[in-house]
Amino acid sequence: MKFLDEAKVYIRSGDGGAGSVSFRREKFIEFGGPDGGDGGRGGDVWVEAVNGLNTLIDFRYQQHFKAKIGMHGMGKNRAGAKGDDVTLKVPVGTQIFEEDEETLICDLTQEGQRFRLAAGGNGGFGNAYFKSSVNQAPDWANPGLPGEEKTIWLRLKLIADAGLVGLPNAGKSTFLAAVSRARPKIANYPFTTLHPNLGVATIDGQEFILADIPGLIEGAHEGVGIGDRFLGHVERTRVLLHLVSAQEEKVGKAYKTVKHELEAYGNDITDKPEIVALSQIDVLDDETLKKKTRELARACGKTPFRISAVTGSGMTEVLRALRDVIVEANAGTEEEKPAKAPKLRHRDMLVSDDEGEGEDHEDHQG
């Protein structure tokens, strides 16, 4: 399946149905009068985060989504039916932006969250609604209100616990393949990874999700190489694993190059806990390994892990370090959660699976 993390979509909610102008005419009924029903409400456009998706590729082939219009009212006080809604199914972690690509509409971070992007137009009143003591035979009705239309941007930021960063050929994809069932493309040339990959790592019976993104090179924030556009996929992670290949001639410079690109990207990504590891150590002799370990330690200010995904050396230790940071971060998040608020039923709110959509009790508008 192809990977797509950004899509432009046009949406339109349904127009409301028109009210009916009708009068009751039946044999032997002395008093007839108006009996035109109200028009039905137009369908809404919703977006919902669902499980089992990790790309927006479906929106490459369909960019227009229109809800159904409400049915017109009819005689005998028959109200028109509501138009069918349209729901955009998106992966968990999708953000919805206005057409300016800056105004955030909603951020769907949990499975089952829903948000109404465009409300359907209200149906018009039939002439029975206007009957009064001073006007017992109104001969007019209201048209339905138009729906809403807009162009929006969908932007996906994958949900993962840990993110892998580093230069191309730092061994990120090999690491992911060694600790999970993910099978990213692995080859001995730069930019083998062209889009993010996810994998589930397990250590001591505990699981966490790893995200591998394409490598960063000097000038990535200016668009050099693949650029830094995929860094958004590690914004939500709890910890970064910075891999530096032992085959680099200057491992300290390699570390600082990636660090500089992370700082240039911004969005507080450098504030995340960072674990540094010297990878591919199986290609070095002991003396060279010690020298490069000291050089990398000076550059990053801490003792790096030394790992080899091929031989398995050091892999358990680095996985446990990642797990410890993730568990600690998750525990802190649980403590910061406020007391559970009463359930709201506002139709534009983000709702979970168990909350439902609520009833729509909004009156028709004339």
201 is in an annotated binding site: no
Residue 245 marked in a binding site: no
Gap between the Cα atoms of 124 and 72, Å rounded: 8
In whole angstroms, what is the distance from residue 240 CA to residue 325 CA? 10
Q: What is the mean pLDDT of the chain?
A: 85
Residue 249 is encoded by which pair of tokens?
């001639």
312 annotated among ligand-binding-site residues: no
pLDDT at 348: 45
Instruction: Give this prediction's pTM.
Output: 0.74
Confirm or deny that 281 is annotated as ligand binding.
Answer: yes
79 is in an annotated binding site: no
Question: What are the Cα distances from residue 131, in Å, to 136, 284, 366?
Answer: 5, 91, 14
38 known ligand binder: no
> What pLDDT score was predicted for residue 112?
92
Q: Would the annotation count 22 as a binding residue? A: no
Cβ atoms < 10 Å from Cβ of 105: 14
Is 196 annotated as contributing to ligand binding? no
Whether residue 192 is annotated as binding a ligand: the answer is yes
Say if CB 16 and CB 70 are below 8 A apart: yes
Phi, psi of 26 (to 5 degrees): -135, 145
Residue 167 annotated as lining a ligand binding site: yes
Instruction: Report pLDDT for 359.
Output: 42
Residues in CB range of 363: below 8 A, 6 or more apart: none
63 annotated as belonging to a binding site for a ligand: no
Does 282 appear as a known binding residue?
A: yes
Q: Is 168 exposed, middle or buried (0-12, 13-18, 19+ CB in 10 A)?
A: middle
Please name each of the domains of the chain with its CATH number: 6-156 (2.70.210.12), 162-331 (3.40.50.300)
Residues of the chain with pLDDT under 50: 1, 339-366
Helix pair angle (172-179, 315-336), 10° resolution: 80
Q: Known binder of ligand: residue 170?
A: yes
Which pLDDT score is estimated for 221? 66
- 227: annotated binding-site residue? no
Query: Which pLDDT belongs to residue 333?
Result: 63
Find out whether 108 is annotated in a ligand binding site: no
